[in-house]
């Protein structure tokens, strides 16, 4: 019997717009006893074909669409073709002097739940969906064919994977064990530290590449505060841009140690930077109470909004931290502020930052809107793939 998912009446609108997610509440019933990773046909309440996708019985996203063409079958060959096409899209970034590049960006490349980053001669894959778990061997085989000289390491250890009913998996798939820290060239000028085995995401935040380079243009002779600094990428570019001083703040001692090592690796002046282990909210309040002021304040916090239920609390958190950021930014200085919460859209984020400026009794002009770099592709019908947004606000 064909495995088919039938929707409740009126729940086909998002699929008609080719949004790739089918939520559990939209489903009336499933026929053919589909199991995790099985390819199912999704039809409307009236029986009209909508898409084919992978079934995930444990997830709220019950089906992830893989094709909206009724005559297209979901095969390992199709997935391999998409892997190849995705990698080809990134060739320009490599030629521009970047050794760290996102090769596959999940729904952004029509491969939902699959991430692949390249760091020098290491490929790091992360699988977070039943859809891509079902095609894991096809994905790995194609990557090995495309990059025969690269080692392949897996970091399938995200919370999203648990929500899909999948066990975590990490380790070498092919080739060498990654070193504790390796460095990747960024913008042909700076070498960014990467911890493949234990670092955040797959080892680095490649999505902020363009914004880090942009920050260097605001840094000449500036006193810089780099909050949630992780391994110090923004701080490295600020020093490269001629910063007078950089205060890097993070709660992780290991991240700060890697940030400090990055300064030496890039032959930058260690006397112009400090590495401060602290809770960022507490540190910002203490600095504001002291009346400290910086020429450039960078706020790049972790995701505050994990779900719709947490959105209101997340907005309060963003407003609070941006108020403190404004209080610490000199008149004529710049606040570089970001949100990686997909549920916080660009308009909402700008409103939050504007409210924070009012709370801080300052005025600001948006000099530039910032976003995830172009290897973190955005699927036109799936706005959730545009998750990282930022603002360069000049305090006036």
CATH number of the domain where residue 169 is located: 3.30.750.80
In-domain check, residue 59? yes
Catalytic residue among 87, 315, 340, 382: 340
CATH number of the domain residue 299 falls in: 3.40.50.150
Please count the CA atoms within 13 angstroms of the CA of 115 that sit on its side-chain side: 24
In a domain, 105, yes or no: yes
What's the pLDDT score for residue 1?
A: 67
Helix (H, G, I), strand (E, B) or coil at 347: helix
Q: Residue 260 is part of which domain span? A: 205-395
Q: What is the mean pLDDT of the chain?
A: 96
Boundary (domain end) residue, out of 67, 87, 109: 67
**Element (DSSP H or E) covering residue 154:** strand 151-156
Q: Is the pTM of this model over 0.85?
A: yes
Q: Is residue 238 part of a domain?
A: yes
Q: Does residue 329 lie in a domain region?
A: yes
Q: Is 180 left (phi over 0), alpha (psi -120 to 50) or beta?
A: alpha
222, 366: one domain: yes
Same domain for 83 and 59: no
The encoded tokens of residue 110 equal 């029509």
Q: How many domains does the chain have?
A: 3
Asked whether residue 388 falls in the same domain as residue 310, the answer is yes
340 is known as an active-site residue:
yes
Same domain for 125 and 51:
no
Question: Residues near 220 by Cβ (< 8 Å), separated by ≥ 6?
Answer: 241, 242, 243
Paired strand residues for 36: none
- According to the model, what pLDDT value does residue 31 have? 96
Q: Are residues 165 and 41 in the same domain?
A: no
Tokens of 148: 């025969």
Residue 194 lies in a domain: no
Same-domain status, 266 and 332:
yes
Give a yes or no: residue 258 inside a domain.
yes
Residue ranges of the chain with pLDDT lower than 50?
none
232 and 351 in a common domain? yes
- Other beta carbons less than 10 A from residue 54's beta carbon: 26
Asked if 135 and 264 sit in the same domain, the reply is no
**DSSP state letters, 14-42:** HHHTT--EEEGGGEEEEES---TT-EEEE
Whether residues 267 and 118 fall in one domain: no
**194 three-class SS:** strand
Q: Does any domain span residue 275?
A: yes
Q: Which residues of 138-150 are buried (b: 16+ CB within 10 A; e: fewer)?
A: bbbebbeeebeeb
């Amino acid at each position: 019997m064909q495995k088919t998912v039938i929707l409740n009446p009126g729940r086909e609108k998002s699929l008609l717009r080719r949004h790739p997610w089918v939520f559990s509440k939209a489903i009336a019933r499933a026929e053919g006893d589909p199991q995790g990773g099985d390819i199912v046909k999704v039809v409307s309440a009236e029986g009209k074909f909508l898409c084919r996708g992978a079934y995930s019985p444990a997830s709220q996203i019950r089906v992830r669409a893989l094709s909206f063409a009724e005559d297209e079958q979901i095969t390992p060959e199709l997935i391999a073709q998409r892997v190849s096409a995705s990698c080809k899209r990134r060739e320009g970034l490599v030629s521009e002097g970047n050794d760290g590049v996102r090769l596959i960006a999940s729904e952004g490349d029509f491969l939902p739940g699959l991430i692949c980053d390249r760091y020098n001669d290491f490929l790091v894959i992360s699988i977070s969906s039943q859809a891509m778990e079902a095609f894991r061997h096809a994905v790995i085989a194609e990557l090995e064919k495309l990059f025969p000289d690269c080692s392949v390491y897996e970091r399938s250890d995200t919370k999203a994977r648990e929500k899909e009913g999948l066990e975590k998996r990490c380790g070498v798939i092919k080739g060498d064990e990654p070193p504790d820290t390796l460095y990747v060239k960024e913008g042909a000028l700076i070498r960014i530290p990467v911890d493949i085995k234990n670092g955040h995401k797959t080892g680095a935040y490649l999505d902020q590449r363009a914004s880090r380079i942009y920050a260097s243009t605001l840094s000449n002779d500036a006193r810089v505060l780099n909050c949630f600094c992780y391994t110090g990428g923004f701080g490295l570019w600020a020093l490269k841009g001629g910063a007078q001083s950089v205060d890097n703040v993070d709660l992780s001692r290991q991240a700060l140690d890697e940030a400090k090592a990055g300064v030496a690796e890039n032959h930058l002046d260690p006397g112009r930077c400090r590495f401060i282990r602290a809770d960022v909210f507490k540190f910002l309040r203490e600095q504001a109470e002291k009346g400290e002021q910086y020429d450039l304040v960078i706020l790049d916090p972790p995701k505050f909004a994990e779900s719709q239920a947490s959105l209101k609390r997340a907005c309060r958190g963003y407003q609070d931290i941006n108020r403190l950021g404004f209080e610490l930014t000199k008149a004529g200085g710049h606040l570089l502020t970001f949100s990686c919460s997909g549920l916080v859209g660009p308009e909402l984020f700008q409103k939050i930052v504007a409210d924070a400026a009012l709370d801080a009794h300052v005025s600001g002009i948006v000099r530039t809107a910032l976003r995830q770099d172009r290897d973190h592709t955005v699927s036109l019908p799936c706005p959730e793939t545009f998750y990282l947004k930022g603002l360069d606000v000049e305090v006036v």
